[in-house]
Structure formats: structure tokens, C-alpha cells
Amino acid sequence: MKQKLINFFELTGLTWFIPIVRLCTGDDPKEQIGDLSRQIALPLAAMVSFFMIWSYCSTKIKTSVGQLPGPSYVLSQAKAMWATHKSEKFNKEEFKTNEELRISVAELIEQRQKTTSLETKKSLTSKINSIKAVILKHLSQLENEIKVNQAIVDKAEADKKAQVTAMTTQLNSLKKFVFDENNKAVLGPDGKPKLSDESLSKLANINNRRVAVFEGNLVRIYKSSENTAKSLIKKIEKIDTYYQQDIAYQAALNKDELEKKIISNKKKLDAFEKQIFKGKEYNSNGSIVDYIKLSITTVIFGFCLAAGIAIPMGILCGLSPSIMTALNPLIQTFRPVSPLAWVLITIQIIDGIFVGDNALTGEILKNTFLHAGITVALCSMWATLSNTALGVSSVDPDHMNVAKVLKLNWFDRIFKIVIPSAIPYIFTGLRITLGVGWMVLIVAEMMATSRGLGWFIDQEYQNNKVESLANIIVCIFIIGLIGAVLDRIMSVFQKLVSFNDDVAA
């Protein structure tokens, strides 16, 4: 068990867990703690100094949009992004609930319209009423949520106000030390004003801090959902009134007198029914989690495409020196081409194929998705191609001798000897391909406007605010972390398929 855990951590490269495992299973604590402090303390120290330097620099560096965001600001921005994501999720859920309710009502009403039997009409009406009850219940839940979250927002607002007031009084009490009676700044011993712009802007920053973002968003979302539900109820009620009248008119004896009324009633009923049959499209710009999901999907798509092209081509090049000689100049020419060039040509070609009504508009598979994915594949496939070719062409002659003695046919030679022995090379290539692909992806998404992390960074950049700058920094960390995780995963595969001989006699 212990050895298994240690092997696992060694395989995944998470070596700093090993001393912890050893410590827990009672190996010499002194040695393990020494190991641990080396493996954890050193990186930790480096990390801390990095954040300190960053923090210090952020007070000194002015960007075109304002002060460079420091670690704490970026962290709060990351939290805000997360909050936006969660409220986005609630928004979607609320939308779905309302839509589902509307659709079921609409279906029942349509059935009621079509049927001629009065009995069926009656039972459908009672069903409609039961859905109305469900909507009402949902409404009361929403009201409750709004109350709870509004209270949190109010309290946060009040806290903020109190904080600002406290700061202002503090500032005022300080004023007499830093301003003279003519309201001029008092200079310190170093010749600089005692209260500088910097310290003032720091105080003012309090006002910019987001307060109860998440709860504020929720209140907004629930209120809009409440409106939708209420209007739905109103429509149902209106339809019901006209419907009841319609029934009454039809049962009436003096139909001729009522004829005009019947016609206008019918028109109104139709109009409301039409309204209730009309659905809505959910649209939103998505949230950070959606961008991450799309980016990962895109890079995996591009990676698979690259592997699908590069591995067979690499095998062909490795098997036949003539093919290699023929293709080599092309490979060497295309390999160094920047993603910026590839993406433009990809956009033109894909948009030429999927044009007009044929344009792809699925939730994930859009034209823009293909632009980014194909660009990733075009830029990243070369490492796999050349590594596969190398692996295939450098197959151990002894292994080929085995194949000869056994008289394996061509097919078996390729699939039983050549490809298996090239697999470690292929995986080395694939690891590089995934790394390059992830790096290229961000640029490709920016250019292709595929709504992943790259697109989001570009949007934030266009915003031109300090806040957006902080968002970009958050994205940089996310991109880095995901890239590292992808590389770890590939390195595990690489280790699993390698068969280097290190055991001797």
C-alpha cells in the first residue's frame, strides 16, 4: 500500500508527498522532516518572495489604465469571477425552470384548444391550474431568496458606509497634521508632502472594493425570474378568463345576439395563446468556467486532430526514406509558421466551407471553434510527426532480425514490431504537441473569437480598466496551472509506455 502510494507520487511527479507518506507510516521522522522541509519549504519560500516582489512592484508600476494590480487585488478579482460564474449558473437554472413551466402550460393549452370534448377540456383546465400552483410556489420561494440576499447586500452596504465614514473622520482628524490653515500640504522632513497622493488613493480604494457581489447578483437574477414567472401567471389568468367566457358564450341560448362578442373574445384568446407559445433563447456571455471548458475542449480537439494526422504521416516517413526525403522540405517550411498566420487562413477556409445556412452554431461546435482547434493542430503536430518518424526509423535492428527469423509478414512487422517500439518516441512527441497546442490556443482563440480563455483575455483587454487587468492576471494563472496539469498527465503516460532497460544481470 505504502509502496504503491510512493510509486504513484513518483509517477505523477508529486514527489513532495513522498516524505509525508513515509512520515505517516512511521519511517525515521528526522530524515523525512528534513526531506519535507527541502521539498516543500524551498518552493514555498520562492513562492512567498515572488508574491512579495509582485506586491512591491505593483505599488510602483503604473499601467496605461492605472496601478498594476497586486496579489490581493487579483485574488479579490478571482473571487468576483467565481461569484459571477455561480450567479451565471443560477441565472441559467432560473431560466430553465421558467421555460419548462411555460412549455408545459403551452402544451396543455394547445391540447385544450384542439379537443372538442367538454370533459377533456375540463380536466386539462384543472391540470393547467395545478401548474399555476407550481409557479406560485416557485414565486414564493423566489421572494424568500430575494429577502435573504437583499439583507446580506444591505448589511454589506451599511458596513461599507460605516467604514467610509470612519475613514473620513480619521482623515479629518489627521488633516490638521498634514494641511496648514491655508489648506496647503505640510512637508515632511524628506521634503515630500506628509499625506501623498498614493496614500490618499489607497484610502479611496475602499470605495472601489466590491461589496457582496454574489448576493447582489442573486437579487438581480431572482427579481428578473420573479418578473418572468409573474407575467406567465398573468397570461395564464387572462387566457383563463377569456376561456371561461368562451365556454359560457357557447352554452348560452341567445347566440345570435352574442355573435360580435364571441368573435372579439376569440380573437383576444388567440392573441394570448400565441404569446404563451412563444419561447425565448437563453443567451449570455458565459462565465470563466465556460471559457475554461471550451478552451480545454478546443485543445483536446486540436490535439486529437494533430495526433490523427501526425502519427500516420510520421509512420510513413519513418518507414520510407523516400517519403521522408519528399516531405522533409514541406515539414521544415511549415513547422516554424506562427499561429497568427495559420489562424487567418483557417478562418477563410472553414468559413468558405460552412457558410450561410451551413454555418455551425451548436453550443460547442461553432465555426470559431473549428478555427481555433484546427490552428492548434496545424501548429502543434510537427513535434509528433518528427518524433514518430524518428521512432519508427530507429527501430532496433535486433528486433527486426527477430521479425526476419520469424518470417513475419509486412503487416505484422509494422504493427507488432515497428509501431510498438516507436511508442515511447510517439508519446514524447505527443507531450510536446499538447504543450505547444495549449500555448498556441490562447492566440488562436483571440484571433478566431472562439469563446475560450484567449477570447476572454482579449475582451478584458478591450475594456481598458484596472479591474480587467486583474482579470487577465487571473487568467494567466489559470492558463499556467492547466498547462502544467496537462503536461503532468502526458508525462505520466510517457512514463507508463517507456520500457528503458535498467535492470542488469
Partner 1 sequence: MDYILELNNVSRHFGEKENRAEILKDINLQIKKGEFVAIVGFSGMGKSTLINLMGGLLEPSEGEVRSKGEPVTGPAPDRGVIFQNYSLLPWLSVEGNVGLAVNQIYKDKSKTERQAIIEKYVDMVSLSPAIHKKPKELSGGMRQRVSVARALSMDPDILLMDEPLSALDALTRSVLQDQILDIWKSTGKTIVLITNDVDEGLYMADRIIPISIGPNATLGPSFEINIPRPRDRKTLNKNEEFRRLRAEVISFLNEEKRKEKLNETTDSNSYPLPDIAPAAI
Residue numbers 382-421 binding partner 1 by CB under 8 A: 396, 398-399, 401-402, 404-408, 412, 416-417, 420-421
The footprint of partner 1 on residues 306-335 (CB under 8 A) is none
For residue 405, the minimal CB distance to partner 1 (Å) is 5
Q: What residues between 228 and 247 interact with partner 1 by CB under 8 A?
A: none
| Nearer to partner 1 among residue 7 and residue 250 (C-beta) | 7
* Nearest-approach distance from CB 399 to partner 1, in angstroms: 6
Interface with partner 1: number of residues (CB under 8 A): 23
| Residue closer to partner 1 (CB basis): 133 or 406 | 406
Cα separation, 349 vs 353, in Å, equals 6
- Tell the smallest beta-carbon distance from residue 334 to partner 1 (Å): 32
Q: What is the dihedral of CA 137, 142, 143, 146, to 10 degrees?
A: 170
In the bound state with partner 1, the residue whose beta carbon lies nearer, of 181 and 502, is: 502
**CB atoms inside a 10 Å sphere around CB 41:** 11
Pick between residue 23 and residue 423 the one whose CB is nearest to partner 1.
Answer: 423
Site residues (CB under 8 A) for partner 1, limited to 485-504: 499-504
Cα 215 to the chain's mean position, in Å? 21
Q: Calculate helix-pair angle for 339-353, 419-448, nearest 10 degrees.
A: 80
Q: Kindly tell me which of 140 and 500 has the beta carbon lying closer to partner 1.
A: 500
Dig out the grid coordinates for 499 from the structure: 520500457
Is residue 1 close enough to count as binding partner 1 by CB under 8 A? no
40 vs 57: CA distance, rounded Å: 26
- What's the min distance (Å) between Cβ of 471 and partner 1? 47
In the complex, the smallest distance separating the C-beta of residue 492 from partner 1, rounded to whole angstroms, is 17
CA pseudo-torsion sign 397, 402, 403, 407: positive
Nearest-5° Cα angle at 489, 487 to 492: 110
Pick between residue 269 and residue 417 the one whose CB is nearest to partner 1: 417
Of residues 334 and 415, the one with the C-beta less far from partner 1: 415
3-state secondary structure of 482: helix
Give the residue with the Cβ less far from partner 1, 14 or 402: 402
The nearest distance, CB 417 to partner 1, in angstroms, is 7
As a whole number of angstroms, the distance between CA 220 and CA 288 comes to 20
Among positions 126-145, residues that touch partner 1 (CB under 8 A) are: none
Contact between 383 and 303 under an 8 Å Cβ cutoff? The reply is: no
The three three-digit cell numbers of residue 416, written as one number = 507488432
Q: Which of residues 352-381 bind partner 1 (CB under 8 A)?
A: none
Return phi, psi of residue 189, to 5°.
-60, -25
CA distances, 88 to each of 94, 98, 171, 438, 458 (Å): 10, 15, 39, 26, 21
CA 213 to chain centre: 19
| Smallest distance, partner 1 to C-beta of residue 52, A | 47
Considering only residues 331, 365, 423, 439, which one is a binding residue for partner 1 as defined by CB under 8 A?
Answer: 423
- Residues of this chain that bind partner 1 (CB under 8 A): 396, 398-399, 401-402, 404-408, 412, 416-417, 420-421, 423, 499-505
